Chain A
Amino acid sequence: MDIPYTVEIRRDTGLTNGKIGIWLFLASEVMLFGALFASYILIRSGAPTWPRGDTILNVPLATFNTLVLISSSVTMVMAWSSLMRGRFGTFRIYMGTTILLGCVFLVVKYFEYSHKFHDDLFPSTNNFLAIYFTLTGLHMLHVFGGMVVNAYFWGPGAKLWKTNPRWFTNRVEHAGLFWHFVDLVWIFLFPTLYLL
């Protein structure tokens, strides 16, 4: 039996089931990160002293990573746009670049973390580092999750393009929405932890 409303729009919601699903999932993610951001604000406002992020963290590396993530959102949307225009070959190039940029982000983050551990800076050192490692660690997991999904659509999942191109395009759009959410979280994380 086929899954209903993967391509055609449901009359009651005005959306496909997949899109409803991804937006519900993203709403739950907003609550998760929202709770952590709220914790950060509460802990910081209640602390007698709070270190400035740029005195502990590596701002140039994080700035580079911000550029990497913004670039990856551009390549992600280009991958989807290529499918909308029926260009599967171009999709593969853009999607591959998105995955590669995700790898670059994680490698840079690995070096950042290693440097902290080398300097004896751990989550248990102080509240600032505890929230830094929690927020960025959770964000890294999301980047990794997005990369796994993108790699699936770049590789084995791409065979759906031959049988049902519209469904495949919708799936890539949903993956793109998640990837953009991950980018947006970083856009808030970067100034909150590194600059303010």
Chain B
Amino acid sequence: MNLRSVHALVILFSAALAVLFGVWCLGLYRREDGVASLLAAGVAFAVSFGLVVYDRWFLRKTRTL
């Protein structure tokens, strides 16, 4: 397993973590009703989506390495 595959895997785990963080923020919003938590959840889901897009771009870009 080379660095390219490991990197792709780590980014996938990061995307999963961002989703988990988003869900945690939503839970916090339900408990404390802070708008900042709702905003943070939105940003976390967006980051997760961005990481998946980056992962696909990275794998395509480094296919020949």
Query: Which residues of A are found within 8 Å of B1, using beta-carbon distances?
Result: 23
Q: Which residue of A lies closest to B2 (CB)?
A: A173
**How close is B49's CB to chain A, nearest CB, in angstroms?**
14
Interface range, B side: 20 to 34
Q: Any chain B CB within 8 A of the CB of A161?
A: no
Task: Flag if B21 contacts A195 (CB, 8 Å).
Answer: yes
Which one, A76, A173, A187, contacts B17 given CB within 8 A?
A187
In the assembled complex, the Cα of A74 lies from the Cα of B58 at a distance in Å of 10
Chain B binding surface, main DSSP class: helix
Task: Flag if A81 contacts B62 (CB, 8 Å).
Answer: yes
Interface range, A side: 20 to 34
**3 closest Cβ contacts across the A-B interface?**
A77-B7, A176-B3, A173-B3
**How close is B22's CB to chain A, nearest CB, in angstroms?**
11
In the assembled complex, the Cα of A80 lies from the Cα of B58 at a distance in Å of 13
Task: Flag if B10 contacts A187 (CB, 8 Å).
Answer: yes
**How close is A35's CB to chain B, nearest CB, in angstroms?**
21
Q: List residues of B (7-25) whose CB comes within 8 Å of A's CBs.
A: 7, 10-11, 13-14, 17, 20-21, 24
